[in-house]
Structure 1
């Protein structure tokens, strides 16, 4: 699928999708679509939910805005990803929010370390200049897990 980046076997991210890409996602074996855009955003595809369901995809929308993204909302989105049939296609306007959320998911589920998440963000070409606030949220999230890991290691060697 054009502009899609596979994070792992279960998660793929991309920017705003069109109806052809939605059909392609279904043909490629995706089971779910998680839309991180709000209906007020420019370029929002109003018929996306209806089309996704018609193609047999599970569809969820959980709008993410950097100014309103807090720990509670992150936890809800990560739980939503847990609950969705896999593989999941996460998308937003440019792929930035989808990339950050997917990396947070992998760190929270201990599939990668915070350091690996930061490296993966660079490999994905995430443009932090587009959203310094989202970068700050991501760094704080990773730091939280770094502290947990360091504390666990200290207790292990005590």
Structure 2
């Protein structure tokens, strides 16, 4: 499958890449007029390119770059809050990625849900309608709780 098809537009400002980017992906992000990239992978995950390489590739392609090392062990409200601040402040449009799009989709949808004053249940439904799989119970539970409390 062509990687271009693996970028889901959530709205005009935010998209989610549902794949682990490689060296060519950053050129594609730039060609698609993205201005920023947020990586949610941890440094100890198996990745096509390391986060250090991603940072270089982003710079080469004139993209702002941020990383939040998200794992089921370090998931926290503070991390989501920080992620949401970056979404507000980074140049747009922004593409967010992890390995499969599950963490990225969840984090982006928490942001959208809070912006739109939605319930956690509604956010899960909307995420699924957009093609995001909410099949990680801990993540789905965290998403609902976060959105319902913010």
What's the TM-score bracket when you normalise by the shorter of the two chains? Answer: 0.7 to 0.9
Superposed, which structure 2 residues align to 1:134-149 within 5 Å?
A: 134-145=139-150
Alignment of 1:97-116 (within 5 A): 97-110=103-116, 113-114=118-119, 115-116=121-122
Structure 2: gaps of 5 or more residues? none
Q: CA offset at residue 74 of structure 1?
A: 1.1
Structure 1 unaligned runs (5+)? Answer: 146-158
Cα shift readout 1:9-40 (whole Å, capped 9, x = no counterpart): 00000121122221011011000000001111
Higher Rg of the two aligned structures:
1
Alignment partner, residue 12 of structure 2: 9
| RMSD after superposition | 1.6
Count of aligned residue pairs for this structure pair: 143
1:88 lines up with 2:94 in the alignment: yes
Q: Could you tell me how far 1:126 is from its partner in structure 2?
A: 2.9
1:44: Cα distance to partner?
4.7
1:25 has 2:29 as partner:
yes
Q: When the two structures are superposed, what TM-score results if normalisation uses the length of structure 2?
A: 0.87
